[in-house]
Structures are given as structure tokens and as C-alpha cells.
Amino acid sequence: MGSQSSKNAPDEHCDRDVVLVYGRSEDGKEYGVLRQRGSEIEAGTMRPLDEGKPIHGEVVRLKPRQESPVLFDVEVAHDARPSTGRPAKVASEQYRKGWESIWAKDRRNRSLN
């Protein structure tokens, strides 16, 4: 009567974003991680940013947690994942107008008088 069901209690971990580092590659440049984002758990790989190389995924900043040397709070600095599932729109309206003026079929009537 006096106790609440766990189904009705608010989830205290719904905004949690934590990484557990569990392994290192042979060359020492990559780390295996488990990440808890809210109620989802994901396995992944972390590697340092290299100048001139593309970014795949997110750029994150890790803050060590006191309870364990392998646990870190995650702060997302940049998300390079595509948000729409479609390629980026790289052609501007000005570019399209220029393209049309050069390559579009001439629509003027060229018949003789």
C-alpha cells in the first residue's frame, strides 16, 4: 500500500550518458567502449582525432568519474552523423541557376519566320 511500483517510479537514469572503456587495440590508437545513453546501451570504438582525416560519428569529451578509472561522463562536442539519412545538400540555389543557364535545353522557338 505505502510502496510505489517500479513501473510508476521515474527513471533516474534517463538522461545518463556514460562510457565504460574496456579494451585497447594492439597499436594503442583505438579503445573498445560500452556507452549508456539514457536507457540504451551501445558497443563502439573510440579513436583520437587526426588532422586531415574525416570524422565518423561523434566528437566527444570524456570526464572521469570518481567511482572507477574506466568510467567517464560523455559530453558531445560535435555530431557528424547524418541526421536525415540522406546525403548532404551541397549545391546552392545560385549554383543550380548557373547550371541551368549553361546546360539546360534552349526553350526558345528557333523555327524560321
The model carries a pTM of: 0.59
SS3 state of residue 35:
strand
Instruction: Give the per-residue pLDDT at 54.
Output: 85
Q: What is the DSSP letter of 55?
A: P
Q: Phi/psi zone of residue 37: left (φ > 0), alpha (ψ -120 to 50 degrees), beta?
A: beta
User: CA-to-CA distance for 9 and 1, rounded, in angstroms?
Assistant: 15
Assess whether pLDDT exceeds 50 at residue 19: yes
User: CA-to-CA distance for 96 and 63, rounded, in angstroms?
Assistant: 46
Please, which pLDDT band fits residue 62 given cuts at 50, 70 and 90?
Answer: very high
Domain ranges of the chain: 17-103
